[in-house]
Amino acid sequence: MQHLKSLCATLVLAAMTTSHAGEAPTVLITGANRGIGLELARQYAERGWHVIATARRPAAASALIQLAAAHPAVAIEPLDVTDAAGIAALAAKYRGQPIDVLINNAGITGKRGQRLGSLDYDDYRRVLETNTIAPLRVSEALLANVEASAQRKIVTISSSEGSIAQVNSPRGYAYRSSKAAVNMLMRNLAFDVAARGITVALVNPGPVDTDMMKGVPMPLQKPADAVAKVIAVVDRLTPDTTGRFWDYQGGEVPW
Ligand SMILES: NC(=O)c1ccc[n+]([C@@H]2O[C@H](COP(=O)([O-])OP(=O)(O)OC[C@H]3O[C@@H](n4cnc5c(N)ncnc54)[C@H](OP(=O)(O)O)[C@@H]3O)[C@@H](O)[C@H]2O)c1
């Protein structure tokens, strides 16, 4: 029994650290220049993965440039996730390149402090473009890359703010609805791509100390701690669990 357990652990470890033909796996991360995205890039790079780290303004992404200097397997690519032509150009550049794990991380909250009676609908549109439509567009554009890989995982960084079941006070119309909607899109996508062996997941990273949470009075995790937990969730994903909404602690978030 002990022997069987250690064999299983070895197989899981092998799946986490190798791709086709024993190659290191590849992860593509959107919004990788700061916050959770940067830490994802750092931790995957430290594991020896190939990292395609995308950023809106690569020239200004100093922390990412430093990371790439220390890890030659980190490639920095320009990508504004709301730019359809930019997504198409990225997909064209990487045509034929397997991507084991695609992480839709880029996100915005929109203007803070909006209340009923003074909602900014242009701002709302930007939030939906970034948090909801972009993850689907990026996933659609890179589907063949994910399908061609060994791990075949599409992960979207969602939020407990997108859990309708957990709402008990009014705030964040734009952000909350953008995350609830991306949850639905990804659940839908999970069914659409299951036959191609692709596993789709939503992951709530929990409250993390990034620019997004500046001034929010609540206990925050260090990005390194939160991201290690997110990656552990990603490692455990299997096709039979596709379409679920995971919490960084490993359980599931109510829809
Ligand atoms: N921090 C938390 O507590 C928390 C909790 C739950 C969920 N999340 C989710 O986690 C993800 C990362 O958040 P974070 O905390 O790391 O936030 P952050 O520190 O504000 O970083 C956001 C990242 O998204 C990028 N981004 C925004 N709009 C973009 C666009 N149009 N195209 C490309 N990149 C864009 C930013 O790039 P620029 O530098 O160019 O703006 C930045 O790299 C988001 O989806 C967020 O909703 C965060």
Residue 179: strand, helix, or coil = helix
- For ligand 1, is residue 126 a contact (CB within 6 Å)? no
Model pLDDT, residue 168 = 94
With contact defined as beta carbons under 8 Å apart, do 131 and 173 qualify?
Answer: no
For the segment 66-93, the average pLDDT, to the nearest whole number, is 98
Can 175 be counted among the known catalytic residues?
yes
- For ligand 1, is residue 242 a contact (CB within 6 Å)? no
- For ligand 1, is residue 136 a contact (CB within 6 Å)? no
Model pLDDT, residue 19 = 59
CA of 33 to the centre of ligand 1 (A): 9
Q: Looking at ligand 1, which residue's alpha carbon is closest to its atom 19? A: 35
Choose among 79, 101, 138: nearest CA to 26: 101
| In the predicted structure, residue 16 carries a pLDDT above the cut 90 | no
CA pair distance 123, 110, nearest whole angstrom: 6
Tokens for 200? 């789709």
With contact defined as beta carbons under 8 Å apart, do 108 and 31 qualify?
Answer: no
pLDDT (tens digit, 9 = 90+) per residue, 118-146?
Answer: 999 999 999 999 999 999 999 999 999 99
The position carrying tokens 């969730």 is 233
CA of 108 to the centre of ligand 1 (A): 5
CA of 21 to the centre of ligand 1 (A): 34
Choose among 47, 162, 161, 148: nearest CA to 102: 148
Q: What angle do CA 131, 53, 106 make, to 5 degrees?
A: 10
CA pair distance 236, 238, nearest whole angstrom: 6
The position carrying tokens 């359980």 is 251
- For ligand 1, is residue 80 a contact (CB within 6 Å)? yes
- For ligand 1, is residue 135 a contact (CB within 6 Å)? no
**How do beta strands 26-29 and 199-204 pair?**
unpaired
Minimum-distance ligand 1 atom for the alpha carbon of 32: 43
| In the predicted structure, residue 9 carries a pLDDT above the cut 80 | no
Domain 25-247, CATH among 3.40.50.720, 2.40.50.140, 2.40.400.10, 3.40.140.10? 3.40.50.720
CA pair distance 63, 57, nearest whole angstrom: 12
pLDDT (tens digit, 9 = 90+) per residue, 19-55?
Answer: 556 789 999 999 999 999 999 999 999 999 999 999 9
Percent over 70 (pLDDT), the chain: 92
Instruction: Taking the CA atoms of 223, 83, 74 and 67 in sequence, report the sign of the dihedral they define.
Output: negative
Sheet of 26-29, strands arranged across: 74-78, 50-55, 26-29, 101-104, 153-157, 199-204, 244-247
For the segment 57-72, the average pLDDT, to the nearest whole number, is 98
CA pair distance 164, 160, nearest whole angstrom: 9
Distance of CA 183 to the CA centre of its chain: 12
Minimum-distance ligand 1 atom for the alpha carbon of 108: 27
| In the predicted structure, residue 2 carries a pLDDT above the cut 80 | no
Minimum-distance ligand 1 atom for the alpha carbon of 130: 31
| In the predicted structure, residue 4 carries a pLDDT above the cut 50 | no
